[in-house]
Amino acid sequence: MSNYLIIAFIAIITFSSVSCKKDPIGVCGFGTLPDYVVFGHFYGECAGEGCVEIYKVDNFKLYEDTLDMYPGSDTFYPGHFTTQWSDEKYQLVNDLYTFFPEALLNETNVIQGQPDAGDWGGIYFEIKRGSTHRFWLLDQMDDNMPAAYNEFVDKINEKIDIINH
């Protein structure tokens, strides 16, 4: 009888690890799947379409905002997410949520550091997860924020680069 329990246990472990490899946004080991995330970068002293790039991962799809508005600190980004990217691009960025530093949820200020204060740009990140709906403007200058947030900013920039190349 104990051999059957061992085999069942191994089967469960194997199934769990295979399922987590296909995990769309981090349910396996990373908390609750968000309803959606919005992320992007913005530059005030900039010209051209790339100055504001905001994306939304929602319902297992990747969308791009067509408004390209500079985000404010008083309300959620009002994006118009109509341009849908390919499933291939979605698959390359859908794990962004797994890098989210949960400590951000404890921050009372939506502005972290001095985003775009010296023309180095800023990051917008929004998460909707059940009754939790928050957003932040994050600094791109490493010395202005805690290292854990800098790593997340770097990951967001990496995902934006992946989308645009």
| CATH label of the domain that carries residue 67 | 3.30.1560
Q: Looking at residue 15, what is its pLDDT?
A: 43
Tell me whether residue 117 is in a domain.
yes
Residues 6+ apart with CB under 8 A from 102: 31
Tell me whether residue 2 is in a domain.
no
pLDDT reading at 95 higher than 80: yes
Question: Which residues are bridge partners to 136 per DSSP?
Answer: 125
Higher pLDDT, 48 or 57: 57
Percent of the chain with pLDDT over 70: 81
User: How many domains are there within the chain?
Assistant: 1
pLDDT in tens, 33-44: 899 999 999 998
Q: Looking at residue 50, what is its pLDDT?
A: 84
String of b and e for 106-123 (b: at least 16 CB within 10 Å)? eeeebebbebbeeeebbb
Tell me whether residue 86 is in a domain.
yes
Q: Looking at residue 1, what is its pLDDT?
A: 52
Average pLDDT over residues 42-54: 87
Burial class (CB in 10 A: 0-12, 13-18, 19+), 156: buried
Tell me whether residue 41 is in a domain.
yes
pLDDT band of residue 8 (cuts 50, 70, 90) is very low
Tell me whether residue 143 is in a domain.
yes
Tell me whether residue 127 is in a domain.
yes
Q: Which two tokens stand for residue 156?
A: 């967001």
Q: Looking at residue 2, what is its pLDDT?
A: 53
Q: Looking at residue 45, what is its pLDDT?
A: 83
Q: Looking at residue 98, what is its pLDDT?
A: 92
Give the Cβ contact number of residue 10 at 10 Å.
10
Give the domain extent around 132: 34-164
pLDDT band of residue 14 (cuts 50, 70, 90) is very low
Tell me whether residue 105 is in a domain.
yes
Tell me whether residue 118 is in a domain.
yes
